[in-house]
């Protein structure tokens, strides 16, 4: 990377049953293994997949807004993301599905904006070729 613009810092202790907090102290969260992975759902606790899903949704929505502004489109958007963990041939792996709703465009324009955002989004760049990412665009 040629020029770093921002660095987020976080520290986890205790793995999936511990806690994670950012150096800025804006996040200080308990972690719990989901029951589907053999843990107990603990009220108020999160897990790495939820944190990844939240980050990916926010980043993708920003990339979508950028793509729209580059195309001189005035849109309102909403991105919901699903991040799944599952078994694959070499152990566990992740996959993602992004549900993107866009107001102010046709379905064809929505499809094109989502593809453009997928090229711009840093999370999409990081996951490309490393995990399955499914995109669902919906003009509303």
Q: How far is CA 39 from CA 17, 33, 84, 92, in A?
A: 9, 5, 16, 16
Determine how many CB atoms are found less than 10 A away from the CB of residue 101: 16
- Total count of residues recorded for the chain: 140
Q: Measuring CA to CA, which residue among 26, 3, 22, 24 is closest to residue 11?
A: 22
Type and span of the H or E element at 135: strand 132-139
pTM: 0.94
**Digit-coded pLDDT (tens) for 79-97:** 999 999 999 999 999 999 9
**Digit-coded pLDDT (tens) for 65-75:** 999 999 999 99
**Digit-coded pLDDT (tens) for 15-53:** 999 999 999 999 999 999 999 999 988 999 999 999 999
- Taking all residues of the chain, what is their mean pLDDT, rounded to a whole number? 96
* Position 110 pLDDT exceeds 90: yes
Q: How is 79-125 classified by DSSP, letter by letter?
A: EEEEEEEEEETTEEEEEEEEEEEEESS-HHHHHHHHHHHHHH-HHHH
């Amino acid at each position: 990377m040629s020029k770093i613009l921002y660095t987020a810092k976080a520290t986890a202790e205790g793995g999936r049953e511990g806690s994670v907090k950012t150096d800025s102290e804006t996040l200080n969260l308990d972690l719990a293994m989901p029951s589907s992975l053999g843990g107990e759902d603990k009220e108020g606790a999160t897990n790495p997949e939820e944190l990844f899903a939240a980050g990916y949704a926010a980043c993708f929505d920003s990339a979508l807004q950028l793509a729209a502004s580059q195309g001189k489109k005035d849109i309102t958007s909403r991105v919901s993301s699903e991040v799944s963990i599952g078994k694959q041939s070499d152990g566990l792996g992740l996959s993602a599905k992004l549900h993107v709703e866009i107001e102010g465009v046709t379905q064809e324009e929505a499809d094109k904006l989502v593809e453009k955002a997928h090229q711009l989004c840093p999370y999409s760049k990081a996951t490309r070729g490393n995990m399955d990412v499914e995109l669902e665009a919906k003009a509303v």
